[in-house]
Structure 1
Amino acid sequence: MNEPLILAAILILAAGTFSLRVAGPLMRARFELSERTRQLLSTAAIVLLAALVATATFTAGHTHAGIARPLGVLVGGLLAWRRAPFVLVVVAAAATAAGLRLLGVP
């Protein structure tokens, strides 16, 4: 591909992304969602996030991630639930997974 075509593609994608970002606040005043719809959207966001966490926790590519990563995520999740500082959550989760792998746990 040549550079002008790549630049045009980038500009088109940037304009589309900006348009989608601006559309939400501009259209909010025109539509009124029912309380049931708001609850469903909130639940859908939580379910989507949980699915993303589960996928990232238990798989590595197309294979099982082993047990060290899920245990690290568990430690991080427990610390986050106990409202520990974010840096501590991340470091403890990483240290747990790294420590277990150092001990030979997959």
Structure 2
Amino acid sequence: MSAWSAVILAGLLSWATKFAGFLVPQRWLAGPLVGRMMAYLPVALLAALVAVQTFDGGGRVVLDARAAGLVAAVVALMLRAPFLLVIVIAAATAAGLRALGVA
């Protein structure tokens, strides 16, 4: 399969998925369970993305400067630091450890 075939197939699958959303009856989406699930879905997806980007080392779990940056960010969040400061602290921690050759 060529790259263009994969791009076209992915586009068609994306369109089909979005179109299928219009076919779902409204009463299925109005329930309290679905509402609760939709409220937590972005948080779960973001947490999964952070975990994969932090600990993935090509198919194995890696603890390096990224993990230390994540720990620093969690500590800063627990101390109620502003979000921009949390980002700076996490980046500075990871960059500092990499500059020192730790990871």
Q: Deviations over 1:38-85 (max 9, x none)?
A: 112333333222111111111144444432111101212332341424
Match of 2:54 in 1: 57
CA–CA distance in structure 1, aligned partners of residues 66 and 27 of structure 2: 43
* 1:32 Cα offset (Å): 5.9
CA–CA distance in structure 1, aligned partners of residues 82 and 44 of structure 2: 24
Q: TM-score when scaled to structure 2?
A: 0.60
User: Could you say what the CA RMSD is over the residues aligned between the two structures, in angstroms?
Assistant: 3.4
Match of 1:46 in 2: 43
Q: Which has the larger radius of gyration?
A: 1
Structure 1 position 99 matched with structure 2 position 96: yes
Structure 1 residue runs of 5 or longer lacking an equivalent are 1-9
Letter aligned with residue 38 of structure 1: G
Q: Stretches of 4+ moved more than 6 A in 1?
A: none
* Matched residues, number: 101
Structure 1 pair 102/60, CA: closer, same or farther in 2 (3 Å)?
same
CA–CA distance in structure 2, aligned partners of residues 78 and 57 of structure 1: 16
CA–CA distance in structure 2, aligned partners of residues 31 and 102 of structure 1: 56
Identity among equivalent positions (%) equals: 36
